[in-house]
Structure 1
Amino acid sequence: MTEPTTIAPLASEFDQHPLRGRFNAAFFEAMDSYIERTLRPHKEKVFARLPRDVVEIGPGVGANLRYLPTGARLIAIEPNRYMHSRLLSAAADRGVTVDVRDRMAEQTGLPDHSVDSVISSLVLCSVQEPAAVLAEIRRILRPGGTFRFVEHVAAESRTPTRAAQRILRRPWAWTFEGCSCERDLERSIRDAGFDTVSVERYRIHSPFLPFNTQIAGIARA
């Protein structure tokens, strides 16, 4: 029988903006099918055969619940409270127990070497300190545990996509709660001290030009 879902007390310094928070919750719920169709081939590779217990950094409204086995338990590190009700509803529909931690990803509050897998998608672009988040992920992973990620990154220099990322960086960041289109997240992950890192670089074709250069991969502790 599925255990009851809980929400841990607020324990973060996330700047909860009532307009942007509500907008992002509604936006990602409305765009779920489109984003899923666009990213499914890459998510299917890196999220294959996830264990029953998973930590997700920034699960939002639950886009990745479909990759968890039925009866799984998700520890959700999600500081945007406007996402919580949608996440819990989606989890109940899929038979997944969710423990929502209302925290920032730099400090999950989880014990050292306590989890087998951490996942993220379209999240490292918006955390305050990517290096600190990656260090935290390494801290909580057991030896041999995996960090699996699908993220959008800075385009090659002197390309139209890179120019669009630069031009739109301020309104994009304001709208999407700090999201940066200009981070070299592959380098950040490779420099984070994981034992092995496997990364695929690819491009999608969407109207959201700054979002179109991406990476997916698995880092092993």
Structure 2
Amino acid sequence: MAAPLTLLPYDEDASGPARRPAAPARLLDLAIRAMNHCTGPHKDQAFADLAAGNVVELGAGGGSNLPWLPAGTRLYAVEPNRALHASLRARCDRAGIEAVVLPVSAERLPLPDACVDEVICSLALCTIPDAEAALAEVARVLRPSGQFRFVEHVAAPAGSLRGRAQGALRRPWGAIAGGCDPHRDTLARIEAVGFAEVHAVRGLLRHSPAWPVNTAVWGWAVR
């Protein structure tokens, strides 16, 4: 395993109180299974050959990406919602993953420049308030040739029926889905960061019943 990262000073209270009560563990497990039923094939592609060692995850939630982390991973789990921390730590323990849970926002990571080879996220950039700032942080903490791996909920093509539905549903969907914006052009934001390479596939989340908001992009970007 790689040497532990030296964390920069951060305010543990900066994320504020838990945004909502934590779901019972059984319900959270069911939600994670349902999520991975829809996103699993995309994660198989985006997270393939993920390097062990220090891995940063944006919006780690309850630990839905743990099955894709190789043995020997030390996970720096960025999750501002402290109500999820107990479940996240428990799932990491069961998976044999060493976890450093960071109660901070993705827009300001308490990590040194160029310190990791891997950053991952799934269904997170649609909820992070300032996605551009979060992506700038990803680029900052990645070493040269390091990889940012993503499976993200994104806007449908402009002018399409699905795209118009997403625009109309932005506010109500965000209210029930933890602030998710179903109509962000996240791939354009990733491409604008200045990665050396971006490899992405557009498609639909498999078996998702949420027809208006199930457009997705997945892949990886190389620093």
Match of 1:30 in 2: 30
1:10 to 6, 9, 12: 12
Residue 31 of structure 1 aligns to a residue in which SS? helix
Q: Which residue identity lines up with residue 45 of structure 1 in the other structure?
A: Q
Residue 209 of structure 2 aligns to a residue in which SS? coil
Q: 1:69 Cα deviation (Å)? A: 1.3
Deviates more, 1:139-148 or 1:64-73: 64-73
Q: How many residues align?
A: 213
Match of 1:184 in 2: 185
> Mind listing any 5+ residue stretches in structure 1 that lack a counterpart?
2-7
Match of 2:212 in 1: 210
Q: 1:25 Cα deviation (Å)? A: 8.4
- Give the alignment's TM-score, normalised by structure 2: 0.88
Indicate conservation of the 8 Å contact 1:122/1:151, yes or no.
yes
Indicate conservation of the 8 Å contact 1:9/1:101, yes or no.
no
Q: Which residue identity lines up with residue 220 of structure 1 in the other structure?
A: V
C-alpha change, 1:25 and 1:219, in structure 2 (3 Å) is farther
Q: 1:99 Cα deviation (Å)? A: 0.2
CA deviation digits over 1:70-111, x for unaligned, max 9? Answer: 232100010011111111111111100100000000111100
Residue 166 of structure 2 aligns to a residue in which SS? helix
Indicate conservation of the 8 Å contact 1:28/1:61, yes or no.
yes
Q: 1:208 Cα deviation (Å)? A: 1.4
Measure, in 2, the Cα distance between the counterparts of 1:142 and 1:168: 38
> Mind listing any 5+ residue stretches in structure 2 that lack a counterpart?
2-9
Q: 1:164 Cα deviation (Å)? A: 2.5
Measure, in 2, the Cα distance between the counterparts of 1:173 and 1:160: 19
- Give the alignment's TM-score, normalised by structure 1: 0.89
Measure, in 2, the Cα distance between the counterparts of 1:218 and 1:24: 33
Residue 125 of structure 2 aligns to a residue in which SS? coil
C-alpha change, 1:167 and 1:197, in structure 2 (3 Å) is same
Indicate conservation of the 8 Å contact 2:15/2:81, yes or no.
no
Measure, in 2, the Cα distance between the counterparts of 1:196 and 1:143: 12
Measure, in 2, the Cα distance between the counterparts of 1:133 and 1:196: 18
Residue 206 of structure 1 aligns to a residue in which SS? coil
Match of 2:49 in 1: 49
Indicate yes or no: 2:221 matched with 1:219: yes
Identity of aligned residues (%): 40
Moved over 6 A (4+): 24-27
Match of 1:58 in 2: 59
Measure, in 2, the Cα distance between the counterparts of 1:71 and 1:185: 31
